[in-house]
Amino acid sequence: MTAPHAVVDLDARGDLVDPGTGAPVPPEAAGAFLGRRLAVPPDATDIVVFVHGWRNTPAQALARSAAFFSLVESVHAAAPDRYPGLGPWRGYYVTVRWPSMSDPFLTGYRRIRERAHAMTTGGHAGQVLGQLLGYLDAARRTPGRPPTLRGAGGQYLHCVGHSFGGRFLTEAVQAAAGDRPAVLGWNRADPRYPYTVDTLLVFQMAAPRPVFAERFPRILHDAPINGPVALTFSRADRATGLWHRLAEGAPGIGFAGATAPADHIATTPLLPADRPYTRDDFPRRIANIDATWRFRRGHHWHPSGAHSDFHHPESAHLLLSLATLAR
């Protein structure tokens, strides 16, 4: 892909890894390290941070994220008139890699589930991703703040996760929440947080269906995110269907969507790439996006089913639509 693309690596404890030495980066050095690794171009309109999910080697994670970013670029270039409020799209992309490789069966799913959990509880993944988002927020021209007007000359920040990567991102966004007034809807408020993200999109989230009520309650009421939390699900996702049910006693969000708290959740279908989304498609804080009709490849032969089958124009269309509605 020709768009600017940076890569950041985490180890099994969730610490940043120095690619030159392979050693973890001390927390006090994280800012300087990120400053060397990341450089938001002045002409970028949108910054997209992508955290991959289960069963990716470092090379696969890089290749698959680059393929998704190229898909976003090509979908916009093919029909920019579908996003009239977006204007030009010049993306700056950041891939976050972490050790997620295992066998594709229940034993592997359990091992990576436990690692992902440990990386955000006993480890530092949430805090480190928070530092990353905070750095990008500080480095960009933030829409709605001086010296620019909202939507004029600003750079928008989007978080995209897949599988367990969505857990990490949600943890990082919630980590910036505190006992402060809520940021409601897509109306950018005065700066009250370490950073603010414009959209949060998770493909096939590997998490219990009530996790937003049980673990991420601040996302609903007091978090630095301007748009809804969009969560795709597919009944052909065996990883968050069968494996998640066997590991945790119930299917996960990626199989059937989030369930709680019910009054903050609405469900809408994944739309074809030529059909526009409107704000009416996202009436609640959490949007379950039913992608069963599209995310189906691997269902009949692969042990994880369609868990990773989100590389479609409709997925790029969803991201671009959310970015448009964030303007």
Cβ atoms within 10 A of the Cβ of 212, count?
26
Residue 272 structural domain = 5-325
Which of 92-101, 129-138, 166-175 shows the lowest mean pLDDT across its residues? 166-175
- Please report the pLDDT score of residue 234 as a whole number: 97
- Please report the pLDDT score of residue 223 as a whole number: 74
- Please report the pLDDT score of residue 301 as a whole number: 59
Residue 19 pLDDT exceeds 50: yes
Which amino acid appears at position 14 of this protein? G
Query: In angstroms, rounded to a whole number, what is the distance separating the alpha carbons of residues 205 and 230?
Result: 10
| Average pLDDT score over the chain | 87
Residue 89 pLDDT exceeds 80: yes
Q: What is the pLDDT of residues 279-288, one digit of tens each?
A: 999 999 999 9
b/e per residue, 245-261, with b = 16+ CB within 10 A? eebbeebbbbbbbbbbb
Single out the residue of 94, 93, 192, 96 nearest to residue 142, CA to CA.
192
Q: pTM of the entire structure?
A: 0.91
Which pair of tokens denotes residue 23? 């050693």
Which pair of tokens denotes residue 57? 């080697």
Regarding predicted confidence, which is higher, 169 or 145? Answer: 169
Query: In angstroms, rounded to a whole number, what is the distance separating the alpha carbons of residues 325 and 81?
Result: 14
Residue 148 pLDDT exceeds 50: no
Which amino acid appears at position 98 of this protein? W
| Residue pair 120/211 in contact by the 8 Å Cβ criterion | no
Q: What is the pLDDT of residues 113-139, one digit of tens each?
A: 899 888 888 888 888 888 898 889 888
Query: In angstroms, rounded to a whole number, what is the distance separating the alpha carbons of residues 138 and 103?
Result: 39
User: Which residue in this structure is represented by tokens 């639509």?
Assistant: 321
Q: What is the pLDDT of residues 250-266, one digit of tens each?
A: 999 999 999 999 999 99
- Please report the pLDDT score of residue 100 as a whole number: 94
- Please report the pLDDT score of residue 192 as a whole number: 52
Total number of domains in the chain: 1
